[in-house]
Structure 1
Amino acid sequence: MPKMSDVAKLAGVSTATVSRVLRNPDTVTPSTKEKVLEAINQLNYQPNMLARHFRRTETNTILVLVPNISNTVFSEIVGGIEEEAAQNGYRVLLRNTNNQLENEYASIEHLKQRQVDGMIMLSPKLDEETLIEISHQYPIVLATAHLETPTIPFVSIDNVRSSEKATEHLIRLGHRRVAHISGPMYSLISRNRYEGYQNAMKNHGLNPEDKFVREGEFTYESGYEHMLDLLSQKEVPTAIYAASDDMAIGAINAANELGVKVPEDLAVVGFDNIKFASMFNPSLTTIAQPLHGMGQRSMELLLKKLNGEAISQTEHVLPDKLIIRDSCGAKHKEKLLPM
């Protein structure tokens, strides 16, 4: 049985274009529409029953759940989702759940009542069993999220390895007392980043001591408060790896308040590469996530589900990059220590 991808290949267009011809033909140029319709007729392509069902009840709207809209990480991902959605004739309905589980449950009603065609969830708090149950009934995709047993399409980076990379950078600069401010441990992302920190420390013969670890909330305030606490100890860290840029910036400001200079007295590495990271003083060394690309890929996967296309893999891990700036003090070193 021919698939949408076969039609796209024969017509020399993308599957998204084929989808637009089927759903919103007025958004496609007459010549392109003619090529696609000719390929459909030649292959005798018939959209499957699931795709037909969604076309009968379509709203051309998708729902995006965001745990904290003030977090620039999520806003950049949403930007990628909206761009891809608009190119395919979809509107985006945004809901800020404020990290409240009941708000995530309430949002499922939009799917049940057919007010939206599908949903992208950014870092959901719902348990894995519930997420899988929902995915059996409605088209959903996860972004910046992992499952212990991936059965739902998700887009993310390798949070374990990226955290190893961030921590190893500080160790190679000569630091041995490296502290870590994690995200909330109910989140698998936070646990993965903590695991990466532990791995790097152990791989270099260092003990990731509890006194140098604090559980934050991915917020500026939690980074600030935990840095004050870490610097109040008898033995203080010489470097800090924070699991978000917001927490890293909070930590730097707390250190400055106590007269601890960054990077001269304290090296700092963050995570996310938010836009403000390069403008902050000192500019922030961080792990860059392809946020806009993650949003685009999430929407691409949801479009496939809406079109009834098979998705060959559930895990879509995009590349990250360590961005070295002033806050870690690397520019003050002649060279990194050998690994």
Structure 2
Amino acid sequence: MKMSDVAKMANVSPATVSRVLSNPELVSKKTRDKVLEVINQVNYQPHIVARQFRTKETKTILAVVPDITSAFFSEVLRGIEHTAIREGYQVILGDTENSVERENDYINLLLQKQVDGMLLLTARLEKEKLEELAEHFPIVLACEYIDGLNVPTVSIDNISAARKATEHLIKLGHERVAHICGPMNVILGRDRLRGFRQAMMSHDLDVDPSYIQEGGNESLESGYNQMMKLLALETPPTGVFVYNDEMAMGAMKAVKNSGLRIPEDIAIVGFDNLKMASVVEPHLTSIDQPKYKIGQKAMSILIQKINKEKITKQSFVMKDHLFIRQSCGGQSFVSSSEQKT
């Protein structure tokens, strides 16, 4: 079934059918209803490739994530997908598996105009290359970021959030506080370590180098292994801030396997507030990122870029919350941070 067949059955021109599909507001309601009735009757589907040749648009965007197995990104992608569908776009997904080479491969799809724009949920490329691409193609970063990058970015303030998580342990009376880091080749790992150090220094607490353990990756196994190293110290910490929830759950397993109690012997704070944080025993205190809203906002900005609308600023910093649960002791409640722009 071709557009010309639909036009013939509705007794209108093919151009009118095209307008009904792409700009329905330009067609009278009577004609629009008549054309839509035929389209529904014959189940007509527009030819995507033909439309791309006519409009130079694919109505498709590419979302690139560093690790599709991470539970964190599922909620971000849901926000992206729902916003895209509402605006008439479809989303294709690229998983780099934390590889810069794979990230470059996906950028080629943008260069070949196979997609209208790209959402990068990872920022491992050089700053100069991203800025050069953004001069010619719609690009938005989300979750990760690059300092001073002249490309729209949606994220939380990871330094402030990490400082808040660490200060929660300090305010509970912990002086021997450790940090299980994420990979230092990722800006999130570096910024959360900075927030930890800032909190310790502002409370005049020494940062023992042995209390900082870098995870080789962001997995349960990594959290488990780094916590075992902390427990093997002659004077182990009494509180631990962990880079993310998945690693924190691995750390909790290490504590339990060592015959210790949470939070009586060691208090633990995670980051990301995954759904499992309120399921594990004891429930995990964690920094919540507004994952769905980050996806929504990033997709909305990308559509603005595709439509060549003016973006008033480059950095969009979303509000985070500290969900206080049983892993630190005390009463459960939510502590909010101030939103920054």
Q: Same fold (TM over 0.5)?
A: yes
Determine if contact 1:183/1:243 at 8 Å carries over to the other structure: yes
Partner of 2:254: 254
Alpha-carbon spacing, 1:174–1:23, altered in 2? closer, same or farther (3 Å): farther
Determine if contact 1:81/1:296 at 8 Å carries over to the other structure: yes
3-state SS of 1:64 partner: strand
Partner of 2:86: 87
Q: Percent identity?
A: 43
Question: CA offset at residue 146 of structure 1?
Answer: 2.0
Alpha-carbon spacing, 1:256–1:55, altered in 2? closer, same or farther (3 Å): farther
Q: How does 1:1-339 map to 2 (within 5 A)?
A: 24-25=22-23, 56-216=55-215, 217-331=217-331
3-state SS of 1:295 partner: helix
Q: Distance in 2 between matches of 1:100 and 1:288?
A: 26
Amino acid at match of 1:147: I
C-alpha deviations, 1:110-169, integer Å up to 9, x for none? 111111110000122112122112212211000012221131000000111111110000
Amino acid at match of 1:185: M
Amino acid at match of 1:266: I
Determine if contact 1:54/1:117 at 8 Å carries over to the other structure: no
Amino acid at match of 2:270: G
Q: Distance in 1 between matches of 2:94 and 2:175?
A: 43
Q: Distance in 1 between matches of 2:21 and 2:229?
A: 56
Q: Distance in 2 between matches of 1:159 and 1:165?
A: 10
3-state SS of 2:298 partner: helix
Question: CA offset at residue 186 of structure 1?
Answer: 1.2
Alpha-carbon spacing, 1:124–1:146, altered in 2? closer, same or farther (3 Å): closer
Determine if contact 2:123/2:145 at 8 Å carries over to the other structure: no
Structure 2 residue runs of 5 or longer lacking an equivalent are 1-18, 33-51, 333-341
Question: CA offset at residue 218 of structure 1?
Answer: 2.1
Q: Distance in 2 between matches of 1:212 and 1:55?
A: 61
Normalised by the length of structure 1, the TM-score is 0.82
3-state SS of 2:63 partner: strand
Amino acid at match of 2:250: G
Amino acid at match of 2:65: V
3-state SS of 1:137 partner: coil
Q: Distance in 1 between matches of 2:175 and 2:145?
A: 31
Q: Distance in 2 between matches of 1:134 and 1:249?
A: 39
Q: Distance in 1 between matches of 2:231 and 2:101?
A: 37
Which protein shows a greater Rg?
2
Amino acid at match of 1:324: I
3-state SS of 2:327 partner: coil
Question: CA offset at residue 327 of structure 1?
Answer: 0.5
Amino acid at match of 1:88: E
C-alpha deviations, 1:310-330, integer Å up to 9, x for none? 101000000000000001112
Determine if contact 2:20/2:27 at 8 Å carries over to the other structure: no
Higher relative contact order (CA 8 A, sep 6+): 1
Alpha-carbon spacing, 1:143–1:203, altered in 2? closer, same or farther (3 Å): same
Question: CA offset at residue 81 of structure 1?
Answer: 0.2
3-state SS of 2:328 partner: coil
Determine if contact 1:24/1:89 at 8 Å carries over to the other structure: no
Determine if contact 2:131/2:149 at 8 Å carries over to the other structure: no
Alpha-carbon spacing, 1:23–1:315, altered in 2? closer, same or farther (3 Å): farther
Aligned-pair RMSD on alpha carbons? 2.2
Determine if contact 1:54/1:306 at 8 Å carries over to the other structure: no
Q: Distance in 1 between matches of 2:118 and 2:251?
A: 35
C-alpha deviations, 1:254-288, integer Å up to 9, x for none? 11111111111000000000111111111110000
Question: CA offset at residue 290 of structure 1?
Answer: 0.3
Q: Distance in 1 between matches of 2:82 and 2:26?
A: 17
Alpha-carbon spacing, 1:158–1:230, altered in 2? closer, same or farther (3 Å): same
Question: CA offset at residue 30 of structure 1?
Answer: 7.2
Normalised by the length of structure 2, the TM-score is 0.82
Question: CA offset at residue 215 of structure 1?
Answer: 1.2
Determine if contact 1:271/1:288 at 8 Å carries over to the other structure: yes
Question: CA offset at residue 29 of structure 1?
Answer: 11
